[in-house]
Chains A and B, each alone.
Chain A
Amino acid sequence: MATFTERMAPVLVLWLAVSLSGTWAVDKGNFKTCDQSSFCKRQRALKPGESPYRALLETMELTNTRLTLQLINDNNKVRLLLELYRLQGNITRVKINELKPLKLRYEVPDVLIRDPPTEPLSLLSQDENGVVLSLGAESQRVIVSARPFRLDIMEGREVLMSLNSRGLLAFEHLRMRKDTSQADPEAEKKEETDPAKQAETAKEEEEKVEDGMWEETFKSHSDSKPNGPSAVSLDFSLPGVEHVYGIPEHADTLRLKTTENGDPYRLYNLDVFQYELYNPMALYGAVPVMLAHNAQRTTGIFWLNAAETWVDISSNTAGKTVFGKMLDYVQGSSETPQTDVRWISESGIIDVFIMLGPTPKDVFAQYASLTGTQAFPPLAAVGYHQCRWNYNDQEDVTSVDAGFDEHDIPYDYIWLDIEHTDGKRYFTWDPHKFASPKEMLQGLMDKKRKMVAIVDPHIKVDTNYKIHNEIRSRSFYIKNKDGGDYEGWCWPGSAGYPDFTRADMRDWWASMFAYDQYEGSMENLYTWNDMNEPSVFNGPEVTMHKDALHGAWEHRDVHNLYGFYVQMATAEGLIQRSGGVERPFVLTRAFFAGSQRYGAVWTGDNAAEWDHLKVSIPMCLSLGLVGISFCGADVGGFFKSPSTELLVRWYQTGAYQPFFRAHAHLDTPRREPWLFGPENTALIREAVRQRYTLLPYWYQQFYHAHRTGQPIMRPLWVEYPEDPATFALDDEFLIGRDLLVHPVTEEGARGVTAYLPGKDEVWFDVHTFQKHNGAQNLYIPVTISSIPVFQRGGSIIPRKIRVRRSSSCMMHDPYTLYVALNPQRTAEGELYIDDGHTFNYEKEFIHRRLSFANNLLSSVNLAPDAQFSTRSWIERIVILGASKPSKVILKTDDGQESQLEFDFDSSMSVLTLRKPGMNAGVDWNVMLQ
């Protein structure tokens, strides 16, 4: 989906001719730089130095659960309250708020899954310079220094992280406007614009009144700022760290860059038309979580603030060449490498969670304990999705559906974009083009397929539209600064924006998905929330005015949460309509920390360009690191039309990314998989089929992500944290820990070089079964049909190789187990099975450990209390790196023994056991003799 410009295309011919003038990129002028965002400019002007803040140790209170302590700013005597918590699972929470704010400051609700359970802090020592507290585990301590105030988190003699060590803590306290007594706004304006007079006033006053504190204008939009300046900022120093990751969403490399020579990374959910790659501009979603990693330790910072936020990163080694670093090392003169980070937010409070790892997995678990894990999607959602703006009418849907059958390509969901509605009124259908939606949905259901229809949060202002009338009559719309319903321009024309921050609004919204409310809907209709940044075509930066009101709070305070709430309410609606039985599937474009709990995200309106294909990897990897595993990019690219080669390569890449959906702009030529000649149809079919054979493995990864918060699509360093060669890799990735994928993302590629990690490991090409050693850069010659994928030696991966029309059709099919032996001739894997679509998985499922050691392959129950039975059986076992046995004995749970037939391919050392036939849900073992 697109920004408004895009969709109003027909009337924009001249504008585009002028504004694009041949180039094709985002119009950067529509979006603020740090300099144009007054709080960022103000805060960034503050340079490292001695902090004016001092801890008043005499105010310290230590209870079982927390430490509190006042801070004072010696420049203005404003006092802050510091709260320090030690949370379960090796997390330290630091909260800083005004001690006595003029009015309440916003604290982000609903993102944490609960009040994080605390553990006692104990006082180790105290003097007039500070206090030392124990964090319990592994001799970890927090040192609170009083003058100037700073926090150091230590382990042994090592500093893990320091806060305010560069003195950049800044807390703009709420204040009365000094000139409010002057009623005449004209006079006031004059005063502000008269530089000489302003300078005078500034001298007199204790605190400078700067431009933009009480009012700010960007382009023609003015932001009234009735609360005045309210920004917060804090710096974090990370000794020994050269690699930081996270803070999505940016179209940038996996490893974050230093920002000293440009703008900071910006977190402010925006609908960016034709976004540009490799820069720190804000995009559709924001997750204020950063991971820091070195070969010894991984830590994380979760800055819980939903206002516009900027993140500066600097490093003392950034400018140095490898040679320079070596020289430092040889000379022993090197200062420790260090990364410094600084967070700046426009309003709210400082509420930061310091996740102390020490392993990547620990950080994922720590973050998951705060914001929850990936929603466990219905199995079908892990299949292939066919989308286009737009499938024109029911007939079109039927014929595309038939096209998949004709060309024998599986798919699970076909999608409808905004044109399916009656005049962009969501929850309705175009009466001509989609006159009988239930008939259409039934047709899909007969094929065991499903549909997704778009429901955006902007509501057409139209008194003949039920949804609008109800929202208005319940006063559920966001209000403008003067108290009237906020109206903005979006697809339907003038639109209202429901206040999703209200729980009663969300409940009502959820109820609209009931089958009797959402006419034409059926249980195989799911939902897509787009434009939920929110996108407001005629608003500042194509979004909502910051002085719009959500009850007592300004939009400024909650902006980055809006999309999170929209998806939350929609997912709840899909759950409720089935009486709590069925798992929802909701795709969102905007997101925040915690959005993983509600469904999938995609990387928005990308383009049919090779660089966009490449960047899909780091973009989804970054999201995975901060909990959002269900990520994908529009296959083929949204804007523009891909070359056939690019389209094929994109399918091959997308088939190995968690959310696999093709999508295309309204104005592009059709690109269903069979429109590019039989050879390309075959290539695309093969890529999609590879996805479907691997569904059991994918589904198992989702189950794990849901249980543990580990990412599905992982950067290599997550599994090989001690191998610096992996730290900046973002052209290849792991799925779970057992599959390594290096998609071909170069035009006309003849080969790719993949780094295979693991000094003592081996990797098997999943297509040829050829074995390669780990810890090497491997050159792989490729053709147009190649998708370089490797299975880790030591793993067992279940597949279903009978690819059918849709995932549901494959439900009862048998499994083939791929056992890839490591040099120690062992392997481990899992098998997870449930009904694929209900919440019954909480109790009814099969979860088995498969392990191979001492020539014995066995399946043992990991969840003896769970109940589920399956018709699926094991049809084949393929052992890679095996030697030839003389015989193979299968022993089943009833004690029966039988001899299995096998094939042995000595050239590749592949042993294939023919049709063992046991049920996939029972205990068994297979002995090679």
Chain B
Amino acid sequence: MMTCQTPYILLLLCVGVSAVEVQRPRGVPLSKRQFYEENKPFTCLDGSRTIPFDRVNDDYCDCQDSSDEPGTAACPNGSFHCTNAGFRPGFIPSSRINDGICDCCDTTDEYNSGAACQNTCREMGRKERESLQKMAEITKEGFLLKQQLIQEAKRGLEDKKAKHSDVQISKKDLENMVEALRTVKETAEQPEKEAKERHLKAWEDQKAVIQMEKDKARMTEVFPELDDDADGFVSVAELLSHSELDPDSDGSFTEAEAQGLLGGVDQVDAVTFESVWNNIKEKYISESNADTPAPVETPTEEIREPASDNDSEQYPEDDIPDEEEEEEEEEEEEDDDQDEGDYKSPPTTQTQEKKDDDDEGTMPPYEQETQNLIDAAQKARDAFDETEKALREVDDQIKNLEKEISFDFGPSAEFAYLYSQCYELTTSEYTYRLCPFNRVSQKPKFGGSETNLGTWGHWAGPEDNIYSLMKYEHGTGCWQGPNRSTMIKVTCGKETVLVSTSEPSRCEYLMEFISPAVCQEPPNPDSALHGHEEL
């Protein structure tokens, strides 16, 4: 049979110096005491029905809204009030009454389960008061610091605005200077260009003469080579021995084709050969080096064979190189970037190659006059570039200043001091780095590359407290998952420090960050301590 239960609790509560007894059914908060009047029929709080008072807390659920069983577990969605004298009163779901687990610090939820609960309210109250005290102190100090931060930010903002207008002025000056120097440069470059072209033209003409002579000399060498029978004529037959001369390169060098090359005749003498030589000189291979075989291209790419013990693509050794390849690609990209960065330097390698190819010797140096023009133009160019670069720098500076000035550093710019700072936290495996308003990253402690956990996105706290959370997003992608992202929970403290990190869900990080910037104005500390107490 059911165990007998006492439907009432006797509460002794201290208010000041006087003690009063407040009698009410178990589990009922004082605020609802008036609904539970002893020996009068009880009406469910939703008004759905009225029952005799002895059915309140009789361990059977009569009311739809569970209000007849505040002190038992009989109703499915009831709640039980613990007075928790010495600590904070509270409600627990009535399913936790007598379940053998101590939930209320005053032990009142386990009145019939045999659980050996200790009343811990006093201890908890003391601890809570201590921690509230401590928190209040922190908040107080933090709030003072925050005021300083706000002042600093204000000053900083003014400085930046001042700097912004200063820089605007110097930008104007620079713009004017750039235009002036551009004119100077263009004026100097025109004569330079003409002088250079002249010099080049002279050199080309000279080269053509040298080339012709060379050609002739070679023809003279070749004729006896071709003239196998040394009869002073190159015949069709003699020509045929040089299959590389086949005009359509179809693999069969016919007599007709050879005759064609010889201009329709069967043989030519050394003089007539001159016209023939022009037709064949590109293809002709001297007999002295005809035997040297062309180097056979060995394929550098090896055919990758699967690991002998494994056919499954699931095997890691197949896949690790892939990642390396990926990294290599990334590196290459970086190299490209560098090349782009060096756009001003001339493409030296190309001219180098040209020189190597040219066996006609190098171009003679510029004459003094031309060289003077070049030097003058270069000087003008350098001056122009330098000023233009300065202008770009100033532009960047302005952009940065404008960004900073308009950035949302909180209602009073109290977060501005975090800008361009970084904070680190080291765990057993990784070092985490938070650079507020910029990015979050993770680096393995024992070697390995850094992973981007997200770049600054936006403030993400709830509407009434949007500056309590920072969201960093679009970090490095996860396999079959989202890009990494990080939430930074900012709480009040005297220092600015990254205190914890976790990855509650794959690739979604959560960090706790302490800063005075979120400290709220402390309420009167006395009211904070006693505000929640019932009496």
> Could you list which residues of chain A lie within 8 angstroms of chain B, going by C-beta atoms?
3-5, 8-16, 19, 27, 30, 218-221, 273, 392, 395-396, 408, 432, 446-448, 489, 537-538, 540, 542, 666-670, 801-805, 808-810, 813, 871, 873, 875-876, 914-915, 917-919
Contacts and interface: CB of A to CB of B under 8 A. Distances in A.
Interface centre among B60, B480, B505 (most CB of A within 10 A): B480
A809 B101 contact: yes
A803 B96 CA distance: 10
Given A11-B319, A392-B502, A448-B101, A804 B313 contact: no
Contacts of B309: 220-221, 538
Interface string B297-311: 000000000111111
B316 A813 contact: no
Contact of A915 (B60, B504, B508): B60
Given A220-B310, A537-B314, A669-B482, A917 B99 contact: no
A50 B345 CA distance: 90
A773 B310 CA distance: 60
B264 interface: no
Contacts of B482: 669
Given A12-B479, A667-B480, A804 B73 contact: yes
Contact of B308 (A10, A30, A220, A808): A220
B95 A408 contact: yes
B478 interface: yes
Contact of B315 (A395, A537, A873, A915): A537
A13 B308 CA distance: 23
A501 B192 CA distance: 92
Contacts of A30: 312, 314
Contacts of B322: 11-15
A668 B506 CA distance: 6
A14 B319 contact: yes
B96 A805 contact: yes
9 contacts: A3-B314, A14-B319, A16-B480, A19-B313, A447-B101, A448-B99, A670-B504, A803-B76, A873-B1
A668 B429 CA distance: 22
A4 B317 CA distance: 12
Interface residues of B, number: 47
B100 interface: yes
A181 to B, nearest CB: 29
B211 to A, nearest CB: 53
Contacts of B2: 873, 917
Nearest to A273: B314
A667 B309 CA distance: 29
Given A30-B312, A538-B307, 15 more contacts: A218-B311, A220-B308, A408-B95, A489-B315, A537-B312, A537-B316, A538-B312, A538-B315, A540-B311, A668-B505, A802-B73, A809-B101, A875-B59, A914-B60, A917-B2
Contacts of B360: none
Contact of A396 (B95, B100, B326, B502): B502
B396 interface: no
Given A30-B312, A538-B310, A809-B99, A670 B73 contact: no
A917 B58 CA distance: 11
A16 B479 contact: yes
Interface in B12-32: none
B69 to A, nearest CB: 10
A448 B96 CA distance: 12
A917 B1 contact: yes
Contacts of A13: 322-323, 326, 479
B319 A8 contact: yes
B506 A667 contact: yes
Contacts of B518: none
Chain B at the A interface: SS class: loop
A-B pairs with lowest CB-CB distance, top 8 = A219-B311, A5-B314, A14-B322, A670-B505, A220-B311, A809-B99, A9-B479, A432-B428
A396 B504 CA distance: 8
A448 B101 CA distance: 8
A388 B323 CA distance: 28
Contact of B101 (A11, A16, A538, A805): A805
A918 B312 CA distance: 65
B216 to A, nearest CB: 60
Interface in B290-347: 306-316, 318-320, 322-323, 325-326
Interface centre among A447, A804, A810 (most CB of B within 10 A): A804
A809 B504 contact: no
A288 to B, nearest CB: 27
B326 to A, nearest CB: 7
A10 B73 CA distance: 50
Interface centre among A809, A871, A873, A875 (most CB of B within 10 A): A809
B319 A12 contact: yes
Contacts of A10: 479
A919 B319 CA distance: 65
A669 B480 contact: no
B531 interface: no
A712 B306 CA distance: 48
Contacts of A537: 312, 314-316
B514 interface: no
B505 A802 contact: no
Interface centre among A3, A489, A540, A668 (most CB of B within 10 A): A489
Contact of A14 (B308, B323, B506): B323
Contacts of B100: 448, 808-809
A806 to B, nearest CB: 9
A914 B3 CA distance: 17
A538 B287 CA distance: 59
Nearest to A903: B62
Contact of A919 (B1, B93, B306, B312): B1
Nearest to A12: B319
Contacts of B313: 5, 15, 19, 27
A702 B347 CA distance: 82
A803 B78 CA distance: 12
Contacts of B326: 13-14
A190 to B, nearest CB: 21
Contact of B95 (A3, A395, A540, A803): A803
A392 B503 contact: yes
B311 A802 contact: no
Contacts of B307: 220, 538
A219 B312 contact: yes
A11 B314 contact: no
Contacts of A918: 1
A826 B505 CA distance: 53
Nearest to A639: B480
A681 to B, nearest CB: 14
B481 interface: yes
Contacts of B508: 669-670
Interface in B106-140: none
B74 interface: yes
A28 to B, nearest CB: 13
Contact of A804 (B99, B478, B506): B99
Interface in B89-105: 93, 95-96, 99-101
A809 B101 CA distance: 8
B325 A14 contact: yes
Nearest to B310: A538
Contacts of A9: 479-480
B478 A667 contact: yes
A250 B176 CA distance: 80
A115 B505 CA distance: 52
A11 B74 contact: no
A392 B508 CA distance: 13
Nearest to A19: B313
Nearest to B113: A812
Contacts of A396: 502, 504
Nearest to A5: B314
Contact of A802 (B95, B314, B504): B95
B320 to A, nearest CB: 6
Nearest to B504: A670
Contacts of B316: 4, 8, 11, 489, 537
